Structure 1
Amino acid sequence: MNILLTTISLDSQKGGGTAERTRRLAAHLAAKGCRCEIATMQDGDLAENLRQRGIRVYATGSVRLRFTVPFINPLRLVQSVRRADAVHILGYWNLLSVATAFLASQFGKPYAFSAAGEFVGLEHPRPIARLFHILFGKRVIRHASLLVAVTPLERGQILERFRLAEDRVAVVPNGVEEDAEAVSHSPSRLEAPYILFVGRLAEVKGPDLLVQAFADVASEYGDVRLVIAGPDFGMRSSLETFVSERRLGDRVVFTGYLGEIERSELYRRALLLAVPSRAEAMSLVALEAGVAGTPVLLTDQCGFDEVERIGGGLVVSATVEGLRGGLRSMLADRHSLDEKGRSLQTYVRGEFTWPLIVDRLISHFRSMLANRLD
């Protein structure tokens, strides 16, 4: 089966979870015998990794105006679509998704479409976003053979928002590598116990909520530090100013962006991972921490409330108050953190490894192809 995947970026620093999801899907689809090709607007280290595996990557390049406009070579994209048996489009608010969906419809190629949480932008859209949805987005949704949700919660929201039939929306969650915990065994430079945040320093990820919550409880847990690991998307300066004002400069560590090996080490050695997101389709970093055996404190906006149900951590409101209470609860019961981590590890390994998830996706592709032939 020939599969074309599209995504905004294949740069690990700028593309975040959607870039990583695309890389893993492509690599595991190829391992299952599919011929994969990827179209993206932004080249990067993940694209190079895929090329080294023999997976074809077409990077359009782009320019940022009011909207990011890709420099699509129409002939090149047409060739990619025509080679495909099925298409998987990831990301809503971009013109590459629109162009790919249009060509797939023109050539009779079934496509699965995943907004990966981006439909939240329809709740209070700016005028340009509303125009995009009317002119382009509705058509992309209408002609999709399948809409892919990352969580059951997102599936329910899609069904309600667009009044779709139940069989039009399927859940294909994020995943992790089975052996992720064995990536590195180098000694840690952080000896003190620490709480870990991994993600972009952007408002949607909520690092400001976590830093404020930590500042409120720091005096109660004098041996614990907070490690903020992730690239700056406009918030680092204000966060550092707040930390300085609260005289916590020796308690809060900003590492900047870290690669996979360094992140894996931090996960394994952390007391817990905190995911303070204001909005998230499904927290990939929570899965990564889980497979490493680290418990998680996350908000109820992360699409992964199962963490608390299976005893792998706590779910709290996406507020300073909620996170502050969660930190107090987990740190006060520190002797139980290892047990919580093992519970989460068992659950993640049993439900969210990429081979299992890709098997599910291939099944959906086959159903799309069969329905097209009927």
Structure 2
Amino acid sequence: MNIHIYLPQFPAFGDKITDGMTKSIHGLSSGLASHGVQVTILCEGKEDSFFKSNTGYVIKCFAHKNKSHKFEIPSGLKQYIAQEINNSLIIINGIFYFKSYLLSRLCKKNTTPYIIAPHDPYHPSIFNKNAHLKWTYWYLIEKRLLQQANAIQVLDIRHAKWLERLNVHTPAIETPNGFSPDDVHSESSLSWTEVGIPKLLFLGRIDAHNKGLDILIDAFKEVLETIDAKLFIQGPDWGDKSKLQKRAAQLSILEKVSFVEPNYNQSSSSIIAEYDIFCLASRFEGFSLAALEAMLAGRVLLVSEVAGIAHYVQASGCGIVVKPDVLSIKEGLIKLLKSRSNWQEMGLRGRRYALEHLQWNQIARNALENYKTLIK
């Protein structure tokens, strides 16, 4: 079976796989390749290139020919889809992304089945920021893209309900995120603190609306009225860092909230292992690889109920699932902070649950069964 996966910004030579979407595609592609699938990642760059990864998938990069490449598909990729793809399935990745729509038109023209993998749910909160632009784009482009797909790949089957409410009834395929065994440190290397000021961590892009970081800071202020702790926010700034720093200053807790630069030289799980509680307060969230990496690091977690990983946190008992509002987050954090004597036991339960249920090979095997039904 041949599967093509489209993500324009995927690194052409398989390096610099640092953000959540490229990690997800790398993991799924590697898992599919381990089951004998011929997987080709289609990306775009300054020049044409071909690269075979050490996990079995290949990367074909197509060169941009002009400055308007943000709004057009490279001619080489158009030709490739028209002439080289037979009996194949294309997975198009991204949400509210015009190139996804353009590629879907090529697939339709060449009768090539395609799946849309948005990586985020179409939760009402996603429309709240830049609402006029998003709703216009939704009705003109995004809805049609989804309705004409052969399937929509969601990270949590619960996210299909948001599509149904938007009158999109395309079949949904649940394909959660997973991990590679290479990313797992030995259990003997992990430790848990029983004394000292607890350290809370958010790890990911500093996007206040999406990740609920403004809510988290407000809730943390209220937690400090009961229990002393420190909050660390680490990741690339998506334009909200200064605003969040000002909010912490207004609440007179700036000395308790630290903003840390991203560290791409250290694995996420080893970074997270240096802290006590992993916090994810997202208003909307596809899955959260960082939360999965926290489970593998044996940490206890506080996660938003909208996140795809919430089910696994709840099922394993390694943390608390909360609503993305100040009161729920405050109560969840206080409960975790008062359970310090149980952190090791809870963390190990989460780690062992993730190891059993979220390996990419298992996820890819299940995804493959779904994909086979789409190619006649």
Which category describes the TM-score, using the shorter chain as reference length?
0.7 to 0.9
Residues 77 and 163 of structure 1, relative CA distance in 2, 3 Å threshold: closer
Deviates more, 1:332-341 or 1:239-248: 239-248
1:21 corresponds to: 24
**In the TM superposition, what are the counterparts of 1:37-186 in structure 2 within 5 Å?**
37-40=40-43, 55-58=58-61, 69-80=70-81, 82-84=83-85, 85-120=88-123, 126-162=131-167, 164=169, 168-182=171-185
- 1:61-96 per-residue CA deviation (whole Å, 9 max, x = no partner) reads 69999xx93442133233046434111111231122
SS class of match (2:236): coil
Partner Cα separation in structure 2 for residue 281 and residue 295 of structure 1: 20
Indicate the residue corresponding to 2:269 in structure 1: 264
Question: C-alpha separation between the residues in 1 aligned to 2:263 and 2:51?
Answer: 17
Give the counterpart letter for 1:182 in structure 2: H
Amino acid at match of 1:273: F
Instruction: For 2:295 and 2:70, locate their aligned partners in 1 and report how far apart those are by CA, in whole Å.
Output: 37
Q: Does 1:334 align with 2:340?
A: yes
Structure-2 change in CA distance of 1:193 and 1:266 (3 Å)? farther
1:10–1:20 Cα contact (<8 Å) kept: no
CA contact (8 A) 1:5 1:90 kept: yes
Report the secondary structure of 2:184's partner residue.
Answer: helix
Match of 1:279, SS state, is coil
Would the alpha carbon gap of residues 213 and 61 (structure 1) be closer, same or farther in structure 2, given more than 3 Å must change? farther
Q: TM-score of the superposition, structure 1-length normalised?
A: 0.83
Q: Secondary structure at the match of 2:173?
A: strand
Map of 1:5 onto structure 2: 5
Q: Distance in 1 between matches of 2:212 and 2:105?
A: 35
Deviation at 1:364, TM superposition (A): 1.9
Matched with 2:361 is 355
Q: Deviations over 1:197-235 (max 9, x none)?
A: 11111121112222222233235443x322211110111
Count of matched residue pairs: 360
Aligned counterparts of 2:338 and 2:197: Cα–Cα separation in 1: 17
- CA separation of 1:130 and 1:252: change in aligned 2, threshold 3 A: closer
Q: Considering only aligned residues, what root-mean-square deviation do their CA atoms show, in Å?
A: 3.5
Please point out which of 197, 200, 210 is paired with 1:195: 200
Distance 1:13 1:218 in 2: 38
Q: Which amino acid aligns with 1:78?
A: Q
Change (3 A) 1:263 1:289: same
For residues 294-352 of structure 1, give each alpha carbon's deviation from its aligned partner in whole angstroms, at most 9, with x where no partner exists.
Answer: 12101222233322343121111211222111111100111112121122222222221
User: Given the two structures, how large is their TM-score scaled by the length of structure 2?
Assistant: 0.82
From the superposition, tell whether residues 63 and 209 of structure 1 become closer, same or farther in structure 2 (CA, over 3 Å): farther
Which of residues 221, 229, 232 in structure 2 aligns to 1:227? 232
Contact persistence 2:17–2:23 (CA under 8 A): no
Structure number with higher helix proportion: 1
Quote the offset at 1:163 in angstroms: 5.3
Match of 1:276 in 2: 281
Contact 2:50 2:61 in 1 (8 A): no
Q: Secondary structure at the match of 2:36?
A: coil
Deviations 1:215-269 (A, max 9, x none): 33235443x3222111101111122233345554443332222227342212223
Cα distance in 2 for partners of 1:144, 1:327 equals 41
Name the aligned partner's letter for residue 84 of structure 2: R
Instruction: Work out whether residues 180 and 292 of structure 1, in 8 Å CA contact, stay in contact via their aligned partners in 2.
Output: no
CA distance in 1, matches of 2:322, 2:144: 37
User: For residues 293 and 139 of structure 2, what CA distance do their matches in structure 1 show?
Assistant: 37
Which residue of structure 2 lines up, in the alignment, with residue 237 of structure 1?
242
Contact 1:200 1:232 survives alignment (8 Å):
yes
Match for residue 312 of structure 1? Answer: 318
> Equivalent residue for 2:224?
218
Alignment partner of 1:365 is 2:371: yes
Equivalent residue, structure 2, for 1:299: 304
**CA–CA separation in structure 2 for the residues paired with 1:364 and 1:329:** 40
Structure 1 residue runs without a partner (length 5+): none
Percent of residue pairs identical: 21
Residue number in structure 1 paired with 2:290: 285
Aligned to 2:39, the other structure's residue is in SS state strand
The one-letter amino acid of 1:18's match is M
Distance 2:263 2:153 in 1: 29
**What displacement does 1:129 show?**
3.4
Structure-1 separation of matches of 2:140 and 2:359: 37
- AA matched with 2:2: N
